Amino acid sequence: MSIQANESPESSATGDLAGKHIVLGLSGGIACYKAAELCRALIKAGATVQVVMTEAAAQFITPVTMQALSGRPVYTSQWDQRETNNMAHINLSREADAILIAPCSADFMAKLLHGRADDLLSLMCLARPIDSVPLLLAPAMNREMYAHPATQRNLFQLQADGATVLGVGSGFQACGETGDGRMLEPDQLLDDVIAFFAPKPLAGQRVLITAGPTYEAIDPVRGITNLSSGKMGFAVARAAREAGAEVTLVAGPVSLPTPRGVTRVDVKSAQQMFDAVSARADAATVFIATAAVADWRPAAASVQKIKKDGSGEAPQLAFVENADILAAVAGSTRAQSGALFCVGFAAESHDLLAHAQAKRLKKGVPLLVGNIGPATFGQDDNALLLVDAAGSQELPRAAKLHLARQLVATVAARLPKTLKNHHEN
């Protein structure tokens, strides 16, 4: 057996931040109400959380609330006498794996930019060891404040100074206006924090992924599809993004949210998926085909609904074979030269190993991932079989995200040296 799966995080969200200690800083803003849910989410993901609040933040949510949620006393003053050396700004920053300011107001960003330190939270950010305690910012403000040139200059310079800005959401704001500047939702921030701490073996790689079923129209209301939910492919897209890749996800008709930081292209039919992949394959360095693509489509879809005619006879449908997306990409000049690493998926109903081995050879890919379709379609867990030229390896049933992280680590370890060297230079 030649395939070695690297260790990955726990199979459930409860372990994604295990062992991490996060200082959660709150500056003034109505988005402080989201910090309560964020605090709980971080703890559920395995982190310990120390809350530090500015005086302005305490006007929007009480320290009592944050203490109850974090299970730790909340710090609000640089003169807090609970610290025996009266140096809370030193002690709290040295204990942290990261400082996350959420919400981070326009005023607080200006403080950080100029190195002002007139309260505990800004003092702590200034006193933190820059090389070992990263600073993550979740801006939250009115759309005009966010768009103001001064704010945009501050954001740019803070990133240049080493801070990680997690972006903003867009939508209805407390002031009644609509636009950019909302603090990201707690689940989005949690995904970003998890991704921040994840190893980056795919940094510099451009990963193209297909996911979900395809739908082949018979008439305007009927069609041929399959039971694929797309969950495995979406998990692979998230895992690849966590691993540092630039990810494009070509998705068939599914009802799943787009993973954070992933570019999504929605398609319906196999031909549309083929066209979308063909248009983007030349820019990719890794192609992972998880989609359950229909093998055939009706030769000609009726423009009107096909109705029963009372004869008891079913309509006669002629079928044509769809283009083979994986085989086409794997047979391209870039794939054959080692500039594009291809991974295929096989959803089978029986004899998984034999079918997976045969499909790997037929498609001409270095790595084929097999699973039993009826046992995984629509489920949140799966079991995978990795097949290459030298053997096979089973990945036991686990959450799909856990398996996706294992697969991404395996792919990263197997990339040709030319791809690794190119993106490390």
Kindly state the tokens that stand for 301.
Answer: 């879809």
Kindly state the tokens that stand for 355.
Answer: 């079918």
* 8 A C-beta contact, residue 315 and residue 234: no
Token pair 């395995």: residue: 46
> Is the pLDDT at 10 greater than 80, yes or no?
no
Superfamily per CATH, domain 13-197: Flavin prenyltransferase-like (3.40.50.1950)
pLDDT level of residue 270 (50, 70, 90 thresholds): very high
Token pair 């070695």: residue: 4
pLDDT digits (tens, 9 = 90+) for 47-104: 999 999 999 999 999 999 999 999 999 999 888 878 777 787 888 888 999 999 999 9
Region of 265 (left: φ > 0; alpha: ψ -120 to 50; beta: rest) is beta
Which of 259, 242, 235, 249 shows the shortest CA–CA distance to 207? 249
pLDDT digits (tens, 9 = 90+) for 216-247: 999 999 999 999 999 999 999 999 999 999 99
**Domain boundaries for CATH 3.40.50.10300 within the chain:** 206-295+317-424
**Domain boundaries for CATH 3.40.50.1950 within the chain:** 13-197
pLDDT digits (tens, 9 = 90+) for 18-32: 999 999 999 999 999
pLDDT digits (tens, 9 = 90+) for 355-368: 889 989 999 999 99
Mean pLDDT lowest among 59-63, 295-299, 377-381: 377-381
DSSP 379-399: -SEEEEEEEETTEEEEEEEEE
Catalytically annotated residues: 175
Distance CA(193)–CA(239), nearest Å, equals 13
Average pLDDT over every residue of 330-355: 91
Kindly state the tokens that stand for 376.
Answer: 């995984």
pLDDT of residue 421: 63
Second CATH level (architecture) for the domain 206-295+317-424:
3-Layer(aba) Sandwich (3.40)
Distance CA(250)–CA(81), nearest Å, equals 56
